[in-house]
Amino acid sequence: MKNRDDCRNSGVAVISFLTGTIIGAGIALLVAPKTGKETREILKDYRDELKKKAADLPDSAKEHAAEAIDRGKKLIQDGNDMISRGTEMVSHGKEYFDEKKQVLSSAIDAGKEAMQQEKEKLAATLGDD
């Protein structure tokens, strides 16, 4: 998240710088007592500097975009891995639950049978009296 903010802040800083450069050049032209030749030279220098800064911007943006894409791919892969592990855990949990349910059901059946046998013994004992 921090890298995205850094990219956004870097982009804002570059755009702010370029805007400030253009505004500054305009103000300088209005208030500077320069000749036409001097003014053209100043404008040429500003233009060259602006071209240089603008040329660096796409490379920086491409670099940040590539980093963002790589992070996104890694997050997707991590998410898929987590889903796979979760699915496996649910499957193991279901198997464990089914196994314990079968054991409990067998224990209940054995308990019912033992209780029935004890009833029959008790009835036989009471019937003999």
In the chain, where are the structural domains located? 2-128
pLDDT tens for each residue of 64-94: 777 888 888 888 888 888 888 888 888 888 8
Residue 71 is encoded by which pair of tokens? 């992070």
Mean pLDDT of 89-107: 90
**Arithmetic mean of pLDDT over the chain:** 78
**pLDDT confidence of residue 113:** 93
**pLDDT confidence of residue 21:** 75
Instruction: Tell me how far CA of residue 127 lies from CA of 5, 111, 114, 119, in angstroms.
Output: 89, 24, 20, 12
For residue 116, name the pLDDT band (cuts at 50, 70, 90).
Answer: very high
Go through the chain and tell me how many residues it has.
Answer: 129
Residue 123 is encoded by which pair of tokens? 């009835």
The rounded distance, in Å, linking the Cα atoms of 38 and 101 is 93
**pLDDT confidence of residue 115:** 93
**pLDDT confidence of residue 10:** 67
Q: Is the pLDDT of residue 129 over 70?
A: no
Written as one letter, the residue type at 51 is K
How much is the pTM?
A: 0.39
pLDDT tens for each residue of 22-61: 777 777 666 666 666 776 777 778 778 877 777 766 666 7
